[in-house]
Amino acid sequence: MQPNRFYFALINLLREAKGHIGIAILSIILIFFISSIILFSNALQQTILEALEAQPDFVVQKIRDEVIVPIKKRVADEIIEIAGTTNISLRVWGRYTFSNTQKSILIVGVDFLDEQSHDALEKIIKSTDLNEFLMDRNQIIVGEGVAKWMKKTKRDKTLRVYTPKGKAVELKLFKVIPKSLNLFSNDMVIMNIKTAQKIFGLKRSSVTDITFDAPNELEWDIIPIKVSSLDSDLRVISKKESYKAYQEMFDYKGGFFLLSFIMVAMSFMMLLYQKYSQVYSSQKRSIGILKAIGWGVGDVLIMKFYETLTVVVISFIIGFLLAWSFVFIFDAPIIRDIFLGNSNFELTDIKLYSSIDWFNITTIFILFALPFFMSVLIPVWRVATTSPKEAMR
């Protein structure tokens, strides 16, 4: 390679390696930190949103005095009448808390004879011998979290719950939901709708929610209004709403994190400013010599720009790759606990979608490179305008 300004930039870098390595390590740590969190939260968000995709478009519940009350089955027939609705099905859906351990499970009662709209459930049932499952009403399909917890208890194949009247129901483990569907199903217990009705003390003619789809998105705004007009107590939750609620939650957490990171970045900038002022002032003489032999301010500026860019790009690549492997290969041990640890059954086995998202990468790059370049602006300019007189010292 014939020397050019980039070549001299590299030589300078190697020459001042000690000063730069300190900065690079600090940068790598910072990038690792932000990248891991951004990568993890975005992958989690992606995973959740994708899981949401499989949910029915709308869920109808009946609300009275702000609590969910049983809804009559015949409401479903009225919903069918509304143009544009399909895949209407009944569901008993609710939390059951074990009084002794305070653990709670999500009971999902499904009418297996009904046309299924729940893609995720369909998948599980398909992979199972449906007939065998249906033979016993008390058989259950449980999420990974529940299964693990059951193993720890004495009776590892059964789960005893009580109806509101105090009658015990012995649930028998039939199958564990595969890991790939883990996100929502972790604390889920799927059973026959009749068993679920019994556990929650519902009448045969009542369920907790009715779900349905509306294939034409343009009608999504009108249909809930039509459904609500059937009965003023009905509440319609659209998939888009929950999608948005999640998105908002992630936005909120992510935004909060970003703002705190920007605070950290400020102190990082001060540090960079000082460090680079120091490194560059030690280069005064050699820059002075370059100026004396004809280098202009622009030439030095460009050389220093290359220097900075090299440090930025190298630290970025290393930090990002470390974070990527931390999140997607080593499954982000600590961050996982922070994000998911406090849920009911620990969501430790979620398989995250690992994708390279350029938008994310740009976000992280801007977040890091911008303060970096900003803090070296003045030191770089100062050294570039070094007087050639320095060569005579």
Binding span for another protein by CB under 8 A among 154-162, 177-185, 198-206, 367-375? 367-375
Regarding 240 and contact with another protein (CB under 8 A), the answer is yes
Binding span for another protein by CB under 8 A among 85-93, 143-151, 222-230, 253-261? 253-261
Of these, 286, 310, 344, 348, which contacts another protein (CB under 8 A)?
286
Query: CA 265, CA 112: separation in Å to the nearest integer?
Result: 55
Binding span for another protein by CB under 8 A among 100-108, 120-128, 330-338, 370-378? 370-378
What b/e string do you get for 11-33 counting C-beta neighbours within 10 Å, with b at 16 or more?
ebbeebeebbeebbeebbebbbe
Regarding 291 and contact with another protein (CB under 8 A), the answer is yes
Binding span for another protein by CB under 8 A among 85-93, 119-127, 287-295, 344-352? 287-295
DSSP strand pairing (86-97 vs 209-213): antiparallel
Regarding 80 and contact with another protein (CB under 8 A), the answer is no
- As measured in angstroms, the least distance from the Cβ of 316 to another protein is 14
Give the closest residue to 149 by CA, choosing from 197, 98, 108. Answer: 98
- As measured in angstroms, the least distance from the Cβ of 298 to another protein is 8
- As measured in angstroms, the least distance from the Cβ of 263 to another protein is 12
Regarding 292 and contact with another protein (CB under 8 A), the answer is yes
Of these, 252, 281, 282, 354, which contacts another protein (CB under 8 A)?
252
State the burial class of residue 310 (Cβ atoms within 10 Å of its Cβ: 0-12, 13-18, 19+).
middle
Binding span for another protein by CB under 8 A among 81-89, 176-184, 327-335, 362-370? 362-370
Query: CA 305, CA 302: separation in Å to the nearest integer?
Result: 5
User: Which residue type, as a one-letter code, is found at position 376?
Assistant: V
Give the torsion sign (CA, 292, 293, 296, 301).
negative
DSSP strand pairing (58-64 vs 168-176): unpaired
DSSP 3-state of 116: coil
Question: 360 with 42: CB under 8 angstroms?
Answer: yes
Binders of another protein in range 321-360 (CB under 8 A): 359
Place of tokens 């390679």: 1
By CB under 8 A, name the binding residues for another protein.
2-5, 8, 11, 15, 38, 218, 221, 240, 243-244, 247-249, 251-252, 254-256, 258-259, 262, 286, 289-299, 301, 359, 362-363, 366-367, 370-371, 373-374, 377-378, 380-381, 384-385, 387-389, 391-392
